Amino acid sequence: MYVSPQRLVSMVIGGAPEKQTLIERLGDRELQVFRMIGEGVSTGTIANNLFLSTHTIDTHRDNIKRQLELKSAAELTRAAVQWVLENR
């Protein structure tokens, strides 16, 4: 099971804030996939690393785009790279 460091800190200090950012709406697995996209990892490699099918990763990508209100794969990649750079 993967729990993001940000989510772990949030749980330890008292739960989720009242108003969530769009990123905080992502589930732990979606956040893990989002981070890997931002690190430039391909769909196939993400699938192999997480022991999932590429179809499952594509489903996660679609869910992330919907939750973050992004329209294209390019927007998803741009947002993921920006998020990774801001959260190092």
Res 8: pLDDT: 59
CB of 80 closer than 8 Å to CB of 35:
yes
- 1-46, pLDDT tens digit by residue? 566 666 656 656 655 444 458 888 899 999 999 999 999 999 999 9
Tokens coding 30? 């979606």
Instruction: Return the domain boundaries, the chain.
Output: 5-86
Res 21: pLDDT: 80
Res 1: pLDDT: 55
HSE value, Cβ hemisphere, 13 Å, CA-based, for 33: 26
The CATH-assigned architecture of domain 5-86 is Orthogonal Bundle (1.10)
68-78 mean pLDDT: 95
Res 19: pLDDT: 43
Higher pLDDT, 21 or 70: 70
3 state SS of 44: helix
64-83 mean pLDDT: 95
